[in-house]
Amino acid sequence: MSGDSRNCGDFVMPAIAAKVKAENDAFYWHLGDFRWMSQPDEDMLAMLPAGTSLSQGDYQQRAWDDFLTHQMASFSGTPVFLGRGNHESVPKMTRDGYIAKFSLFLDRPEIAEQRKKDGADAAPLGPWFHWVKDGVDFISMDNSTHDEFTEAQMRWLRAVLDHDLAPNSGIRTILMGAHEALPHSTGSEHAMDDWELGERSGELVYTWLYDAQAAGKHVYIIGSHSHYFSPDVFNTPYWKMRSNTVVPGLIVGTSGAHRNALPKNARNGAKAFVYGFAQGTVHPDGTIDFALQELTESDLVKAKWANAPIDAIHECFIHNGDAASGK
């Protein structure tokens, strides 16, 4: 899992795909922000013929196709699940346009099969969904816009969790992924804390997931949005005042976007100015261990597209960030 592949993702995502395939991982889950959308991405411009210029309209018309061609195509045969990020809603990009463009990903066989099983409680085809594999319920939420979490999405999530908590559900583990971290994490400077409904609905989602953990499920919450890797993100005074334990959580926005400095309260193991993804290993008891799979510049060069200039890859690896430092 990782998110935020704007700016330099056309160079980074092929290297992520190469590692995912080499290690025979079960799937890759992208947590949103595919392209910058507010202006052309540096990687995309670098691969255009010399002297090519793009208007904003031309760029936005090409951007999602560029994501499919230079990022998703790299996975060729490995299942990929897509979450929606805030840059997927930059005007003039719309929710309906997102669903239409990425319908093949939003209606993957695993998701379509789960919708049938959910019956009347199923989510419509769109940016929130879930699928179950080997006793793990993978839940993809949409908090890309400030009208989320909507009542409709919350009712759907409540139904999913009620099923997971029912006797004999077969669910041992719940893993929720969403673009922006739930409120009051170590990454609260750039998360659902930024708007009133986000804070209120996000607090409730965290509480529901904590309750599921207290009921005996293994629960994990993964986000991106902030462009660094940070573990143990809910180990904060806010949540520790409310319970003896916290829900394990990660922020992993390391797929190519302009890299951010770490917040001062980041926990041990956090890293800034890196590219890579979080690899989760599910154990027989349902627990999941996560490890950062960090990429080198050599990884990017080995996996590059034929028309990707080496100097542009170097620029993305050396710069493309607030500062070349981190824990």
For the chain, what are the domain ranges?
9-318
Average pLDDT over residues 30-40: 97
CB-based contact 258:291 (threshold 8 Å): no
CB-based contact 225:251 (threshold 8 Å): yes
Q: What is the pLDDT of residue 323?
A: 65
Q: What is the pLDDT of residues 57-101, one digit of tens each?
A: 999 999 999 999 999 999 999 999 999 999 999 999 999 999 999
Q: What is the pLDDT of residue 325?
A: 43
The overall average pLDDT reported for the chain is 96
| Percent of the chain residues topping a pLDDT of 90 | 97
Average pLDDT over residues 180-208: 98
pTM of the model: 0.96
- Using the predicted structure, report yes or no on whether residue 324 has a pLDDT greater than 80: no
Question: CATH number of the domain at 9-318, please?
Answer: 3.60.21
Residues 81 and 1: their CA atoms lie apart, in Å, by: 9
Q: What is the pLDDT of residues 198-215, one digit of tens each?
A: 999 999 999 999 999 999
Q: What is the pLDDT of residue 51?
A: 85
| Percent of the chain residues topping a pLDDT of 70 | 98
| The two structure tokens encoding residue 135 | 């006793």
Find the DSSP H helices in 168-309. 196-214, 237-240, 297-302
Average pLDDT over residues 297-310: 98
Helix pair 310-318, 9-22: axis angle to 10 deg? 90
Q: Considering only CA atoms, which of 127, 54, 56, 59 is closest in space to residue 89?
A: 127
